[in-house]
């Protein structure tokens, strides 16, 4: 039996079902936003958590989850971000997408790969790099972006948002190139 890892940081999630699922994977405290209409009281608790223990934002891989991630990261700078690929978070009958549907192992991996926007990178990735790698246009661009998001643990982003997300997480150019190479080797 695997011993559950204890996290210092407090995890920001959308609701109580996410909290229940996370507690199966790791020993951690959570703050629930209760949806995308995040009140000032919740943001104040997240600010306090960031000051005292650190925060990992771990929302669903869908539009409302991205909105919550954006609101919290704007209000509380310096949070870490954990991502699940959409296919890791789909309810078994395909009716819902969310952290609460992910496997314990997928949750552990996502939290282990949490990124801080404060981490420094060496060498910026340009839009030309993305275009040359076939990530912005052409056949298979969407699939390549999905694979890259999984490999770098930054989640899926459309062509317009990919460059911003790579910069936000300050992914080093070398790490980006290694991830692309890994994707190319897959069948």
The region that residue 78 occupies, defined by phi over 0 for left and psi between -120 and 50 for alpha, beta otherwise, is left
> What does the pLDDT read at residue 23?
96
Please give the backbone phi and psi of residue 12, each rounded to the nearest 5 degrees, phi first: -90, 120
Query: Would you give the DSSP letter of residue 6?
Result: B
> What does the pLDDT read at residue 121?
42
Rounded to 10 deg, the angle between the 40-52 and 63-75 helix axes is: 60
Using alpha carbons only, give the angle 140, 141, 142 rounded to the nearest 5 degrees.
Answer: 95
Domains in the chain, please, with CATH? 10-116 (3.40.1360.10), 127-185 (no CATH)
Judged against a pLDDT cut of 80, whether residue 123 lies above it is answered with no
**How much of the chain exceeds pLDDT 90, in percent?**
48
152-168 pLDDT, tens digit per residue, is 988 889 988 898 889 88
């Amino acid at each position: 039996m695997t011993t559950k890892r204890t996290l210092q940081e407090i995890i920001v999630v959308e609701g109580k079902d996410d909290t229940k699922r996370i507690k199966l994977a790791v020993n951690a405290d959570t703050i629930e936003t209760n949806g995308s209409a995040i009140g000032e009281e919740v943001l104040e608790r997240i600010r306090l958590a960031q000051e005292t223990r650190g925060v990992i934002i771990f929302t669903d891989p869908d539009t409302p989850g991205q909105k919550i991630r954006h609101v919290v990261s704007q209000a509380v700078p310096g949070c870490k971000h954990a991502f699940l690929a959409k296919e890791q978070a789909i309810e078994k009958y395909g009716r819902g997408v969310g952290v609460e549907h992910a496997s314990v192992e997928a949750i552990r991996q996502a939290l282990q790969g949490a990124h801080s926007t404060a981490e420094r990178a060496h060498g910026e990735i340009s839009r030309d790099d993305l275009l040359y790698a076939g990530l912005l246009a052409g056949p298979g661009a969407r699939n390549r972006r999905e694979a890259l998001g999984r490999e770098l643990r930054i989640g899926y982003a459309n062509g317009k948002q990919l460059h911003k997300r790579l910069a936000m997480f300050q992914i080093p150019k070398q790490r980006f190139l290694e991830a692309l190479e890994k994707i190319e080797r897959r069948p």
